[in-house]
Every structure is written in structure tokens, then in C-alpha cells.
Amino acid sequence: MNSQAIYIKNIKNEANKIQIESHLAQLIGVYNVSVDKDYKRVLIDFKTPANLNNLEKEIYDLGFEILY
């Protein structure tokens, strides 16, 4: 299992946090998602078939800018 932190730019409120967590939690291969809006990061545990590139794309498609 992989654990990654994805930092995002424009998370602003609790609704953004819930939107990201609920969307990513539905993806196959994702086991745990936690959004820390104060540090503007998404902590995620996943394994194949999910991968970091796909997860970053999903976040981007929701309207959030990936920092690193």
C-alpha cells in the first residue's frame, strides 16, 4: 500500500474538504482519504489500480490546483 500527501492550492472551506474526501473515497484502490484544509493537503492511502497521477488528475478535475 502507498501513502502520499498531495498539496493543493485553492481549498477554502469545509465543503471543499468533504467534496474531495467523498469523491476520492469512491475510487477503486483508495483505502483512506483525509483532507487537512489548514495545511492544504490531501493524505491518501491507496494501491493498484489507483496511482498518484490518476489521483492528482481527479483532484484537478474537481477544480483544485495541485502544488506538488
Classify residue 40 as left (phi > 0), alpha (psi -120 to 50) or beta: left
Average pLDDT on 4-33 reads: 96
| 49 pLDDT more than 90 | yes
Average pLDDT of the segment spanning 37-53: 95
CA dist., res. 61 & res. 1, Å (int): 24
State the average pLDDT for the chain: 96
Q: How confident is the model at residue 61 (pLDDT cuts 50, 70, 90)?
A: very high
C-alpha span between 50 and 21 (Å, rounded):
15
Supply 9's cell numbers: 492550492
Q: What per-residue confidence (pLDDT) applies to 34?
A: 97
- The domains found in the chain, sorted by start residue, are 2-61 (3.30.70.100)
What is the pTM for the complete model shown? 0.91
